């Protein structure tokens, strides 16, 4: 190498070195597989430090243009077969900010589903006699062992753009372009990618379904364990009326059952196969789309081929359901959060889900509850991110659709975390029942029941009874319960005579427990109604669990069918 002085003002030296190397590669002067000069030679040639050379080379290795081989050196990588239309490799910024993040995401989530999709496509090609059974057998014998290998075996070179093309590059380099290339009959990244995405989302949903059912059952256990324990019910965060702790848990459970049913309903939209739509207009090859859908555990196909590659409404449906579920969990957590304060002192959490202060020795903070509340914000943000990604796109396949996935996968992780944290927190939680009932007895939350009693005994309108009691509370000095004497004084001002309440009746009406017991309407906190709701919600949880079992069994049958078809071809 001759000496080359870098003298472009205002441009970093490492970037000038990188530009020089890239020019050599893209001009063809440095061919694929060629070994680069040593680090010492590059330093001498450019007249720069080792740090500058390393920064340039590291950047190009990260971008996939170069590859290091331990103990051998640095080499120019093989250009992607699918980029023959283009004269230059993707830029470092494209690799770093577009291709590499998507690749890493796919490696983490989609490896197995990518292999299964290829396996199913090969089986279909053989079934339709589009490739020979001998070629199909060779392809399957190569791909099947990959299922037991690490995703990195395929490689993750961003020059190949995505995981599909990295896999194509891997197959061609090992099997040759004639054999490996036959897999790509009647398929495209445009239908392969949404197929793999739907399968990967399906995997994540099964976990979310399971965790949500576990949480529902835990709440039902808490409801059963805390029957008839009195607690104040609140409106506007102010004492409203006495209820029971099981009544509260049943309310939250009912909301979670609705969230679960929404998510289970969304599965029907998700679990349809785009495979076979190809680029967007189908194919002239006589393929069997329903066969591959059956092999992959889909309930059917998305019939219109354009819709198959363009549709992302399932992301909106699921992310909206995630946000709704997150809201339920956050509101539940907010109640527990307030109840754990010293002023309420209704509950306490285990040390394993708490943290303490680095300076204030008395502090025990509700760690998990705070994070459950705040994580719900990510779920709403994900929905907004996805809908804004789709806004303004034509109904077609385009790169905008890829930007929908990072917020969606983040929502999946955040929601899974929220469910796990909630389940864990509720496994070891202590309720201070005496404190709860004591507060319900002294905070005037029974006054609505007193108004109801006056309506029935003195035959006055509810609004008159309401006004008498409201005026009594207003005129009373200081805190604490109102007295019958105070009530009768105000009653004389309103009606010209006192109420007919006796001291015994008045004393009885002060009890929060009696207030709950006297409730007669369906769905109230009275013990008989709570027992009825508990049974109903158990049945609802069983139905959802049965629906999840059907989904799981369906996928297991698809796996069994795929294995049988694979074995038949290989054997």
Q: Distance between CA 138 and CA 375 in Å, rounded?
A: 48
**What is the β-pairing status of strands 238-244 and 429-431?**
unpaired
What's the residue count for the chain?
571
Whether the Cβ atoms of residue 174 and residue 254 lie closer than 8 Å to each other:
no
- Which residue matches tokens 């790509």? 184
Q: Distance between CA 537 and CA 258 in Å, rounded?
A: 11
Q: Distance between CA 12 and CA 563 in Å, rounded?
A: 56
C-alpha to C-alpha distances, 230 to 9, 207, 259, nearest whole angstrom: 77, 35, 27
Whether the Cβ atoms of residue 131 and residue 125 lie closer than 8 Å to each other:
yes
Q: Distance between CA 385 and CA 165 in Å, rounded?
A: 27
From 132, 265, 357, 374, active-site residue: 357
Read off the tokens for 477: 């000095």
| Kind plus residue range of the DSSP H or E element containing 434 | helix 433-442
Query: Which residue from 483, 502, 499, 482 is spatially nearest to 491, judged by alpha carbons?
Result: 499
Reduced to 3 states (helix: H, G, I; strand: E, B; else coil), residue 348 is strand
**What is the β-pairing status of strands 230-235 and 66-69?**
unpaired
236: annotated active-site residue = yes
From 5, 93, 150, 236, active-site residue: 236
Which residues are paired to 347 by β-bridges? 431
> CA angle 141-147-148, nearest 5°?
105
- Which residue matches tokens 């970093």? 12
357: annotated active-site residue = yes
Whether the Cβ atoms of residue 262 and residue 324 lie closer than 8 Å to each other:
yes
Instruction: Find how far residue 161's CA is from the centre of its chain.
Output: 26
For the annotated catalytic residues, the residue numbers are 236, 357
């Amino acid at each position: 190498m001759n000496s080359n002085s870098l003298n472009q003002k205002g441009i970093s030296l490492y970037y000038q070195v990188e530009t020089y190397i890239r020019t050599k590669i893209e001009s063809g002067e440095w061919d694929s597989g060629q070994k680069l000069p040593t680090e010492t030679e590059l330093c001498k040639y450019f007249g720069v430090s080792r740090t500058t050379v390393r920064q340039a080379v590291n950047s190009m290795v990260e971008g996939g243009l170069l590859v290091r081989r331990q103990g051998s050196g640095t080499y120019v990588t093989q250009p992607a077969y699918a980029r023959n239309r283009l004269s230059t490799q993707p830029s470092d910024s494209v690799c770093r900010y577009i291709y590499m993040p998507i690749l890493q995401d796919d490696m983490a989530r989609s490896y197995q589903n990518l292999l299964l999709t290829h396996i199913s496509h090969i089986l279909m090609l053989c079934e339709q006699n589009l490739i020979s059974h001998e070629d199909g057998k060779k392809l399957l014998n190569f791909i099947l062992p990959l299922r037991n290998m690490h995703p990195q075996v395929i490689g993750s070179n961003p020059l190949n753009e995505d995981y599909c093309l990295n896999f194509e590059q891997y197959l061609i380099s090992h099997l040759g372009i004639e054999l490996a290339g036959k897999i790509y009959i009647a398929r495209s990244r445009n239908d392969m990618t949404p197929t793999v995405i739907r399968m990967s989302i399906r995997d994540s949903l099964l976990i979310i379904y399971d965790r949500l059912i576990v949480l529902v059952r835990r709440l039902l256990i808490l409801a059963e364990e805390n029957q008839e324990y009195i607690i104040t019910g609140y409106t506007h965060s102010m004492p409203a009326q006495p209820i029971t702790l099981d009544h509260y848990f049943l309310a939250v459970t009912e909301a979670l059952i609705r969230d679960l049913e929404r998510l289970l309903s969304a599965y029907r939209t998700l679990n349809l196969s785009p495979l076979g739509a190809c680029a967007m207009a189908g194919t002239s090859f006589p393929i069997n789309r329903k066969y591959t859908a059956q092999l992959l555990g889909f309930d059917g196909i998305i019939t219109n081929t354009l819709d198959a590659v363009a549709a992302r409404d399932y992301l909106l449906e699921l992310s909206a359901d995630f946000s709704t579920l997150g809201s339920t969990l956050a509101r539940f957590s907010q109640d527990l959060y307030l109840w754990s304060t010293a002023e309420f002192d209704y509950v306490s959490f285990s040390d394993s889900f708490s943290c303490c202060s680095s300076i204030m020795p008395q502090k025990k903070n509700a760690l998990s509850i705070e994070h459950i509340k705040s994580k719900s914000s990510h779920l709403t943000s994900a929905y907004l991110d996805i809908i804004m990604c789709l806004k303004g796109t034509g109904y077609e396949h385009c790169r905008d659709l890829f930007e929908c996935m990072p917020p969606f996968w983040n929502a999946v992780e955040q929601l899974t975390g929220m469910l796990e944290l909630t389940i864990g927190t509720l496994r070891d939680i202590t309720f201070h029942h005496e404190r709860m009932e004591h507060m319900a007895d002294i905070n005037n939350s029974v006054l609505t029941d007193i108004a109801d009693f006056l309506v029935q005994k003195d035959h006055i309108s509810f609004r008159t009874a309401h006004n008498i009691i409201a005026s009594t509370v207003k005129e009373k000095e200081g805190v604490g319960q109102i007295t019958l004497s105070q009530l009768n004084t105000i009653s004389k001002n309103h009606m010209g005579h006192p109420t007919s309440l006796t001291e015994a009746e008045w004393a009885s009406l002060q009890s929060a427990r009696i207030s709950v017991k006297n409730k007669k309407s369906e769905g109230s906190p009275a013990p008989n109604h709570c027992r009825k709701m508990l049974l109903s919600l158990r049945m609802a949880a069983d139905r959802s669990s049965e629906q999840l079992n059907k989904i799981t069994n369906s996928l297991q049958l698809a796996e069994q069918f795929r294995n049988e078809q694979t074995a038949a071809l290989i054997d």
